[in-house]
């Protein structure tokens, strides 16, 4: 099994494997567990940590049966996260991008206009098209 090696997406992948009951992680590791935090691996998964951008290509490697790939990279393969995945994060995933503004400009007109245009059905539809159904609006 190939998973991303950067701390955030590594933790994200391990938490997804735990959610699917494929591994067990130490308690209290929050969103950033590492492979060292695996306490149980009943299926004896061999986990290979790779650069996220490499993950779509390793699907062609006969040594790799499964890869956990973020929506950003899966779109390059032509696969659909919704239709081609074995399992997928649910809509309540804590891994959503958040738009923030400084305290001194959070009520500025241009910020309000941006949020209004960004949090629209048009943007949601475009994201769904771009990410083959794998994008979940965070608003």
Domains of the chain: 2-92 (3.40.190.10), 96-139 (no CATH)
Give tens-digit pLDDT for 97-131. Answer: 677 889 999 999 999 999 888 888 998 888 888 87
Count of beta carbons in the 10 Å neighbourhood of residue 26: 11
Confidence (pLDDT) at 97: 67
Q: How far lies 130's CA from each of 23, 58, 73, 78, 103, in Å? A: 32, 22, 11, 10, 32
Confidence (pLDDT) at 6: 96
| DSSP character at residue 4 | E
**Chain CA centroid to CA 105, Å:** 30
The mean pLDDT value for 38-45 works out to 97
Gap between the Cα atoms of 10 and 49, Å rounded: 8
Question: What mean pLDDT is reported for the chain?
Answer: 89
Confidence (pLDDT) at 58: 93
CB 46 within 8 A of CB 23: no
Q: What is the pTM of this model?
A: 0.76
Can you read off the two tokens belonging to residue 30?
Answer: 């929050």
Can you read off the two tokens belonging to residue 9?
Answer: 């997406």
Expressed in angstroms, the distance from the first to the final Cα of the chain is 32
Gap between the Cα atoms of 139 and 137, Å rounded: 6
Reported confidence tier of residue 72, pLDDT bands at 50, 70, 90? confident
């Amino acid at each position: 099994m190939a998973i991303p090696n950067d701390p955030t997406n590594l933790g994200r992948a391990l938490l997804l494997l735990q959610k699917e009951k494929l591994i067990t992680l130490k308690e209290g590791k929050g969103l950033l567990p590492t492979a060292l935090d695996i306490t149980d691996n009943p299926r004896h998964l061999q986990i290979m940590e790779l650069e996220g951008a490499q993950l779509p290509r390793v699907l062609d490697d006969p040594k790799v049966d499964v890869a956990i790939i973020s929506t950003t990279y899966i779109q390059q393969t032509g696969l659909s996260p919704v239709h081609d995945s074995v399992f997928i994060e649910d809509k309540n995933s804590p891994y959503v991008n958040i738009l923030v503004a400084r305290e001194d400009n959070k009520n500025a007109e241009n910020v309000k206009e941006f949020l209004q245009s960004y949090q629209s059905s048009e943007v949601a539809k475009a994201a769904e098209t771009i990410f083959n159904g794998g994008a979940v609006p965070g608003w």
